[in-house]
């Protein structure tokens, strides 16, 4: 989650600036590290018999129509090379991808994970292969005539026009050939929030049974011949700004915050990326919040701590119940929520609450009106993280208490997260971990972690230790040891906000997308 301490000071409703480009700490295989971003905006589409390419402004996806399975996303070393792409072709010889830009070309070979690109000073109007003989290379039509980019070359030179040019399909041609598609476009190109998109790219399926269509807001579509409406091929998130995560059977839920280009959403991501389901609230109003700071799952609902209240979102139909000051919360700014022992406990800007199945709010320790940044229920008591360290809310009491073992000032740093390792309660400060010995009730401060990871924001237990996320990276640390083999800024597309671990993957929510790391590849 986003740092609760920072959230206590101000509500973040703007898109953070992009982090400067960094080199990754290692060469990643796609199956070991996958970055999932916004694929609602498709800039180009190209199809072959065993693959369909779809490019977004920052990555390329590949769909296998025979096995109905996604591959990718594939991120170029420099994401800016995809920003102005407007057309695509599959190479007839090796099924690699060629993309056209107004000022050049991009070539991607997925089997080799190899990217090439080049500039064309004359400007590119279209790309083509010669259907009579595709072996010479790619033809580029410019304002000054035709150029030929030879295979393996990086510079195009003047050449003749292709005898039988094969060029990217044009959306206008598809609409003219499919009157039904054009007539129903007003319904097709409206997203769940009534936003209007447009068709951006088209490619005929290799089996000649339909069209793949790219859009500027509802992702990739497939229009079977003779159908009135296309099928949506959902992949990815509604925005790259991921604020919080919640573990779920067979996957996770990711919350994306409001940005200048996207409405907030909760998206289910299946563990192997086979299913994506986005919830955006009622079409007329959307979700009644802008930012999610923490999430927890209970039953068939996801609970979200948001800037406008505590939200219960039904995963089956997206129905939202929002609890705020009018429904019993001491403050609508909610920083944390936990589902434990069948109860929902939440921390707000002005105190601690518990919510039952009927959405009745119980104010715990009502005299305590400070920000609650983290909660960890333990029986009828609740450990809470505050700006004054770890405190304890006991049942039936009007105020919190500070255990005598925490009286030392060095143990009273602001606490941004709470969890457990076995029967040991563990707190996370902005610099290190602090834990309680269940036998002696003594609290111990661990080594500094922020020097390597930056200011700490979240952690998730995994076996003998924790995956700890900070402003500058993520690393695995035991209670008494520093992080090992940290995943640094270059391994993450943005600043980390939250982490979740399942049996196979570490999931990291960042300001630049959701990252899935295979645990076998990153465990020390």
Q: Which residue matches tokens 């083999």?
A: 485
Q: What is the spatial distance between Cα 12 and Cα 21, in angstroms, rounded to a whole number?
A: 23
- Residue 194 sits in the same domain as residue 291: no
> 190 and 251 share a domain?
no
Residue 18 lies in a domain: no
- How would residue 141 be classed by pLDDT, with cut points 50, 70 and 90? very high
* Structural contact between residues 312 and 289, judged by C-beta atoms closer than 8 angstroms: no
Do 257 and 293 belong together in one domain? yes
Task: Name the H helices within 329-372.
Answer: none
Min mean pLDDT across 17-31, 106-120, 435-449, 471-485 is at 17-31
For the stretch 156-165, pLDDT in tens is 999 899 999 9
Is residue 428 within 8 A of residue 435, CB to CB? The reply is: no
Domain assignment of residue 55, yes or no: yes
pLDDT value at position 6? 46
Give the SS3 label for residue 457.
strand
Assess if residue 98 is contained within a domain: yes
| Helix, strand, or coil (residue 175) | helix
Task: Please report, for the domain that includes residue 493, its CATH number.
Answer: 2.130.10.10
Residue 141 phi/psi, 5-degree rounding, is -90, 125
| The two three-digit tokens of residue 402, written as one number | 């500070």
Is the pLDDT reported for residue 359 higher than 60?
yes
Write phi, then psi, for 275 (nearest 5 degrees).
-140, 135
Q: Per the domain annotation, does 165 fall within a domain?
A: yes
For residue 24, what pLDDT is reported? Answer: 79
Residue 15 lies in a domain: no
400 and 424 share one domain: yes
Query: What is the C-alpha separation between 507 and 498, in angstroms, rounded?
Result: 8
Do both 280 and 332 map to the same domain?
Answer: yes
Digit-coded pLDDT (tens) for 79-98:
899 999 999 999 999 999 99
Domain that holds residue 362: 242-522
Q: Is residue 29 included in any domain, yes or no?
A: no
Q: Decide: helix, strand or coil at residue 289.
A: coil
CB atoms within 10 A of CB 355: 23
pLDDT value of residue 195: 66
Mean pLDDT, range 128-148, rounded to an integer: 95
Q: Is the dihedral of CA 131, 133, 135, 139 positive or negative?
A: negative
Average the pLDDT over 197-222 and give the result.
Answer: 93
493 class by beta-carbon count within 10 Å (0-12 exposed, 13-18 middle, 19+ buried):
buried
pLDDT 10s digits, 301-320: 999 999 999 999 999 999 99
pTM summary value: 0.90
Residue 453: count of CB within 10 angstroms of its CB: 25
Q: Of residues 308 and 178, which shows the higher confidence score?
A: 308
Helices (H) and strands (E) in the chain, counts: 6, 44
Same domain, 165 and 260: no
Confidence grade of residue 64 (pLDDT, cut at 50, 70, 90): very high
Number of structural domains in the chain: 2
Please give the average per-residue pLDDT across 345-369, as a whole number.
Answer: 96
Are residues 411 and 341 located together in one domain of the fold?
Answer: yes
Are residues 408 and 507 both part of a single domain?
A: yes
pLDDT at residue 185, as a whole number: 79
CA 302 – CA 420 distance, rounded (Å): 21
pLDDT at residue 10 in the model: 37
Has residue 19 got a pLDDT over 70? no
Q: Pick from 181, 202, 233: which residue ends a domain?
A: 233
**Considering only 2-6, 35-39, 318-322, which range has the smallest mean pLDDT?**
2-6
Is the predicted pLDDT of residue 13 greater than 90, yes or no?
no
Q: Are 117 and 102 in contact (CB under 8 A)?
A: no
Nearest to 194 by CA among 271, 133, 284, 276: 284
One domain for residues 463 and 338: yes
Q: What is the pLDDT of residue 435?
A: 97
For residue 237, give every residue at least 6 positions away whose Cβ sits within 8 Å of its Cβ, in sequence order, or none: 36, 37, 38, 39, 254, 256, 265, 267, 269, 276, 278, 513, 514
Instruction: Say which residue, 349 or 198, is predicted with more confidence.
Output: 349
Q: Are residues 334 and 400 in the same domain?
A: yes
Please state, in angstroms and as integers, the Cα–Cα distance from residue 261 to each residue in 38, 157, 240, 509, 514, following that order.
11, 40, 10, 19, 18
Give the percent of the chain with pLDDT over 70: 95
Would the pLDDT of 15 be above 80? no
Rounded distance between C-alpha atoms, residue 198 and residue 186, angstroms: 9
Mean pLDDT (whole number) for 54-74: 94
Of the three residues 207, 233, 259, the one that is the final residue of a domain is 233
Q: 105-114, pLDDT tens digit by residue?
A: 999 999 999 9
Residue 24 located in a structural domain: no
Burial (0-12, 13-18, 19+ Cβ within 10 Å), 143: exposed
> pLDDT at position 192, please?
57
Q: Which of the listed residues 233, 265, 296 is the one where a domain comes to its end?
A: 233
- For residue 192, whether the previous peptide bond is cis, meaning omega lies within 30 degrees of 0, is no
Q: Are residues 226 and 320 in the same domain?
A: no
Residues 374, 505 share a domain: yes
Q: Contact, 264 vs 290, CB < 8 A?
A: yes
> What is the C-alpha separation between 497 and 321, in angstroms, rounded?
25
Within a domain: residue 407?
yes
Instruction: Write down the mean pLDDT value for the chain.
Output: 92
Tens digits of per-residue pLDDT, 369-428? 999 999 999 989 999 999 999 999 999 999 999 999 999 999 999 999 999 999 999 999
SS3 per-residue string spanning 463-518: CCEEEEEECCEEEEECCCCCCEEEEEHHHCCCCEEEEEECCCEEEEEECCEEEEEE
CA dihedral (171, 173, 174, 176) positive or negative: positive
374, β-bridge pairs: 385
DSSP 3-state assignment of 254? strand
Is residue 494 within 8 Å of 513, Cβ to Cβ? yes
At residue 190, the pLDDT reads 78
């Amino acid at each position: 989650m986003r740092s609760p301490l920072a959230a206590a000071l101000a509500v973040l409703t703007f898109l953070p600036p992009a982090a400067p480009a960094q080199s990754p700490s290692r060469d990643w295989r796609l199956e070991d590290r996958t970055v999932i971003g916004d694929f609602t905006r498709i800039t180009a589409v190209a199809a072959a018999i065993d693959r369909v390419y779809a490019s977004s402004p920052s990555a390329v996806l590949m769909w296998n129509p025979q096995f109905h399975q996604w591959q990718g996303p594939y991120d170029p070393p420099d994401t800016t090379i995809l920003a102005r792409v407007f057309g695509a072709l599959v190479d007839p010889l090796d099924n690699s991808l060629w993309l056209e830009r107004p000022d050049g070309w991009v070539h991607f070979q997925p089997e080799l994970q190899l990217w090439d690109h080049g500039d064309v000073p004359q400007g590119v109007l279209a790309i083509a292969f010669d259907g009579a003989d595709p072996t010479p290379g790619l033809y580029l039509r410019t304002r000054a005539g035709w150029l030929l980019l030879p295979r393996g070359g990086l510079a195009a030179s003047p050449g003749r026009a292709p005898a039988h040019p094969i060029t990217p399909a044009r959306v206008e041609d598809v609409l003219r050939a499919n009157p039904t598609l054009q007539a129903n476009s007003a319904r097709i190109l409206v997203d769940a929030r009534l936003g209007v998109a447009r068709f951006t790219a088209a490619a005929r399926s290799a089996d000649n049974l339909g069209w793949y269509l790219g859009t500027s807001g509802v992702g990739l579509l497939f229009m079977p011949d003779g159908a009135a409406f296309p099928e949506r091929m959902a992949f990815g998130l509604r925005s790259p700004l991921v604020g919080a995560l919640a573990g779920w059977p067979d996957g996770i839920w990711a919350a994306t915050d409001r940005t200048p280009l996207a409405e907030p959403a909760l998206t289910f991501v299946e563990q192997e990326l086979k299913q994506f389901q986005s919830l955006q609230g009622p079409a007329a109003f959307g979700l009644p919040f802008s930012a999610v700071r923490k999430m927890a799952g209970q039953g068939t609902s996801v609970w979200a701590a948001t800037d406008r209240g505590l939200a219960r979102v039904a995963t089956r139909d997206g129905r939202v119940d929002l609890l705020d000051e009018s429904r019993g919360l001491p403050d609508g700014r909610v920083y944390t929520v936990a589902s434990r022992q069948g109860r929902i406990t939440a921390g707000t800007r002005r105190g601690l609450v518990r919510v039952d199945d009927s959405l009745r709010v119980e104010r715990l320790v009502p005299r305590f009106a400070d920000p609650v940044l983290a909660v960890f229920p333990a029986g009828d008591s609740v450990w809470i993280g505050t700006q004054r360290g770890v405190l304890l809310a006991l049942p039936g009491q009007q105020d919190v208490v500070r255990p005598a073992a925490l009286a030392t000032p060095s143990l009273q740093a602001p606490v941004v997260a709470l969890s457990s390792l076995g029967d040991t309660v563990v707190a996370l400060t902005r610099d290190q971990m602090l834990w309680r010995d269940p036998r002696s009730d003594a609290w111990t401060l661990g080594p500094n972690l922020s020097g390597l990871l930056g200011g700490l924001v979240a952690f998730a237990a995994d076996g003998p230790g924790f995956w700890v996320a900070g402003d500058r990276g993520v690393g695995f640390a035991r209670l008494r040891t520093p992080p090992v083999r940290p995943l640094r800024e270059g391994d993450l597309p943005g600043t980390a906000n939250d982490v979740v671990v399942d049996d196979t993957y570490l999931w990291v929510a960042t300001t630049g997308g959701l990252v899935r790391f295979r645990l076998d590849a990153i465990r020390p």
